[in-house]
Amino acid sequence: MVPEGVIYDKDLEYGKGGDTTLHMDIARPEKMARPAPCIVIIHGGGWRGGNFKVHVPQILEFAKQGYVSATVQYRLVPAGRWPAQIEDVKCAVRYLRANADKYGIDKNRLGAIGFSAGAHLSMLLGTMDKQDGLEGSGGNPEQSSKVQVVVSYFGPTDLTQKDFPANVNGMIYDFLGGMPEERADAFKAASPVTYIDKDDAPILHYQGTKDRLVPYSQAFLLADAMTKVGLGGRIELLAGADHGWGNPEMARTAAGAIAFFDQHLKK
C-alpha cells in the first residue's frame, strides 16, 4: 500500500540495454518545497537473478523520509554479461538527472544503495568517472552517471582476488564471460577498488564476518583503498553475520543507511 503523502510511479521506461527495454519504479513525496535528493536502489542476485520490484517497500520508505527514490531493472546473466549491468544502472542515473524537473530531483544530490551484486554496482556508480567508460548507449549521454554517496550491503569490492568460494567464482566467471587468465582486464575493470580516489562518493559498507558468499576480506580491501586516497566513509563489520541478516540488525543498519544519506545529501 502506498503511504499517504507519497506518489508512486511504476514500470517507467528509462532506457534501452541492447534490445532490452529497461524499467524503474519511482516514489516521491507528494509535497516538496524544493527539489529533493534522490536515492537509487539496486537489487542483488549474483548478477543473474533478482527483481527490482523487491525494493518497492524501501523506495516508499525513502519517500516518507523526504527523498525521491527509484528501484531499477538491469540486464541479467546469461542474456546480459559485463558490462551490461553497469551500463544499465548508469543509464538509470542519467535518466533521473535528465528528468529531474519532472520528478522533483536535485540532480546534484544522488545516492545509491545496493545489496550483494547490487552493492557492487552501487559502488561502481560512486567511484567510476565518465572517462572510465562503460557508459553504454541507453540514453541521455549528456548527463552524469556518477552518484554522490553510496551504501553497500555485503558487496564484493575486488573481483581479482582468489578467496571467493567456488560457487561464487562460477557466478563471477559467468558475469564477466570467462576465467581470470582469459579476461584479466574485465576482472580489474569490474572491481570498485580499481577506481577509488579522494573525490569519489563516500561509502558506507556493511559486511558480515561469516558471509558464505563474499569473504569479509573484501571489506578490508575497500578500507585499504579508501584510506590510501583519503576517501571518507565507514566500514562496519557485523561479527558472525552471514550474507544478509534480519532484525534487529537489519533495522539498525537501515537506520544507519538513512543517517548516512542524510549526512551527505541533506546538507
Position 185 scores a pLDDT of: 96
Position 91 scores a pLDDT of: 97
Position 110 scores a pLDDT of: 98
3-state secondary structure of 86: helix
In this model, does residue 267 exceed pLDDT 80?
no
Q: Are 206 and 249 in contact (CB under 8 A)?
A: no
Q: Are 103 and 68 in contact (CB under 8 A)?
A: yes
Cis geometry, peptide bond prior to residue 29 (ω within 30 degrees of 0): no
Closest of 75, 76, 77, 106 to residue 92, by C-alpha: 75
pLDDT averaged over the chain?
97
Neighbouring residues of 129: CB distance < 8 A, sequence distance ≥ 6: 146, 195
Closest of 264, 198, 256, 205 to residue 231, by C-alpha: 198
Going from the C-alpha of 255 to that of each of 199, 260, 261, the distances in angstroms are 26, 9, 10
Whole-number percent of the chain with pLDDT over 70: 100
- 1 pLDDT band, cuts 50/70/90, is confident
Residue type, 74: Y
pLDDT in tens, 160-179: 999 999 999 999 999 999 99
∠ Cα 95 86 150 (to 5°):
80
30-65: buried (b, 16+ CB within 10 Å) or exposed (e) per residue?
eeeeebbbbbbbbbbbbbbebebeebbebbbbbbee
∠ Cα 59 204 238 (to 5°):
100
Q: How many CA atoms lie within 13 A of 4 on its CB side?
A: 0
In this model, does residue 216 exceed pLDDT 80?
yes
Strand pairing partners for 220? none
Mean predicted confidence (pLDDT) in 232-256: 97
Strand pairing partners for 80? none
Domain ranges of the chain: 6-265
Domain boundaries 6-265, corresponding CATH code: 3.40.50.1820
Residue type, 240: G
pLDDT in tens, 101-139: 999 999 999 999 999 999 999 999 999 999 999 999 999
Position 154 scores a pLDDT of: 98
Position 145 scores a pLDDT of: 98
For cell 520490484, what's the residue?
53
pLDDT in tens, 31-76: 999 999 999 999 999 999 999 999 999 999 999 999 999 999 999 9
In this model, does residue 193 exceed pLDDT 90?
yes
Neighbouring residues of 229: CB distance < 8 A, sequence distance ≥ 6: 196, 197, 198
Please give the model's pTM, rounded to 2 decimal places: 0.97
Whole-number percent of the chain with pLDDT over 90: 99
Position 226 scores a pLDDT of: 98
